[in-house]
A and B are shown apart, each in its own frame.
Chain A
Amino acid sequence: MSELVIQTRNLNKKYRGRYAVRNLDLEIAKGEIYGFLGPNGAGKTTTIRMLLGLIRPTVGSIQIFGKDLRKDKMNILRKVGSLVEYPSNYGHLTAVQNLEAIRRILDAPKARIHEVLEIVSLTKDAKRPVKGYSLGMKQRLGIAAALLGNPELLILDEPTNGLDPAGIHEIRELIRSMPKQHGITVLVSSHLLSEVEQMAGTVGIIREGEMVFQDTIDNLKQQASGGFRLVVSEPQEALVHLIGQGYTGRMEDGAIKLDQLSDPEVALLVKRLVDNNHAVYRVEEKRRSLEDIFMQVIEQGGFS
């Protein structure tokens, strides 16, 4: 198992008797992009606030870079860049001055300001007061601020919230480049699967404060296959024949429904049917979209 950058154990946050986050075991490996998914109000931001030490967990432990957050908060935060909910800035100051205020606290080299402005392509507007910026530019400035301290871990809470498609694309490409170009581990939260599926390697899906799925996006896609549908001549006989051969299947609307099979298994199955003098008209794979699976997970709290 690769090195874990974030690891929470039995994390709980209780507000007035109600759990906002419950028994959360988050595991994020070094160098990956982790998509933290869930509907609004599922506990994503609450979790992120706990990871950043903004609020204290009711129960549970948080380890970041292998160190306990409670004991090593300063050292951990020095290596973490974050953007929580909305980007915040001083409207009367320029982008450079805004970053300078943060730079003074981080004690980063001055040249870093221009580097991060370059990364988020704000160099051209760097000398303008921030109050004249569009939402997308403010968001990029927020990411620039998060990158200022040369972090090893980037935590972005809904970074594409309120952006137009072009802005979303831009931010997505930016996030995607982080592990490759800068070796940064990224935790990015979203309420839309479609938004993170193109960049995240691993996803965690949270629902009513509880983690209901945590695995690679490929494994999530595996769940998307819904089996096969065969249209053949004499379907009843064909089904009896297949069941005799050890397959599991059933009749549905005059077609045979089979569970998920690999490519060679499908080929063999078709051959057997043809050998048994059935005409094979159609072999269809029934796919559910990732979005359907996501909806199922967050509605039912798991796979059926």
Chain B
Amino acid sequence: MYRSAARRILPAVCRRTGHFRSKASPVRFSAPIIHPAAFSAAAASENARNHKPNNFEASKISSSSNEGRKPRVTDRPKAHWQEEQARVLQASLRHVVRPFLPNLQFYYSKNDLLIGWDRLLNFIGQISLGWSDAAMIAGAREVGVSPSIVGSFPRKEAALVEFFMDDCLQRLIDIIDLKEDLTNLIPSNRVAKLVRIRLEMQAPYISKWPQALSIQAQPSNIATSFKQRAMLVDEIWHAAGDESTDIDWYVKRTVLGGIYSTTEIYMLTDTSPDFRDTWAFLDERVREAFDLKKTVQEQTWTHYLASYPERKQQYFAIYLHTTPVRHPLGLEVLRNRKPLNTNNRVSACHHRSVKKYHSSDWLQNITNLLEDAQDMQIFQAKYLAEAVGAGMGGSVQGFVNNLFKG
């Protein structure tokens, strides 16, 4: 299970770092090598117990190659035992929520009196096997394999939960590939729809999902579950058409991870028909997040400018007039700012690049300012250049002296 998750990570990482989307970028690695770098936490936890998974199937060593942007577990030649394990897990999933007859004999004493009444009631509440090795044993029997295979899964119940998460991710990828109408929606609706599709896959297991969440939260399992959620979030953003390559990439995924988790937990206690309340909750959260994103961008730039003396506030004014405003809320934020006195310099929020504008070389300062303005992709640098060239507040030299005096 762990290895199949590792195989899925690689294309996601490639997508992030290299944009190998349309090209076929074959990556070969053989089974014993566990993917390094970002996800070595899981490898470290595996090795911490002095446990060496050495696969000595001489003729059965599976080497895999990932091509292009559509990773599929089934494309890779899997070792026979891995397929069998997957079959057992697939069958076990059916037993997770299947109700079964409890053995009431356990609750009756020899005199046929009912003992342990509270235990019985408690028991009736958990009348299905849940994410436990009992479910896996039942699954193994169904497939026709000896139930002792359950002992070969390194973290038994966690293996079942992780298999389910992988399975849902694979189904989501399949749905994304099939559905073309996603491009008709605006990004926020796209994201909301994808999260909804994914959460609906969990709906049949919702009665036992708290148990699955608690299994995922255990220290030995948390690395893998975090990785799986990261892949899921990455997949959703990629399907929603995310093209960012800078810090935005992390911000987006963190925000969506938060939305997904809170909606998942909301769903646990939602009793409305077809989880209507959950979807309403989800839509609210997504809308808020998209609004927040723009406000954060505006705020960051205003913090940049806030560290300059008043003269530079005039760039600010230029920005207001020349750059098309994209969001009414953002405009409010800008317009409501009070103009500053020259003496009352706003203490800079210590942005690391503020120092770039305070060297003794004025030309270097302006160059740095222009470069950063271009990076921010908000401020149209040419407007700044024109403003400087127009000689605001006197000759160019006087202007520059004023600039770096305050």
Does B bind A?
no
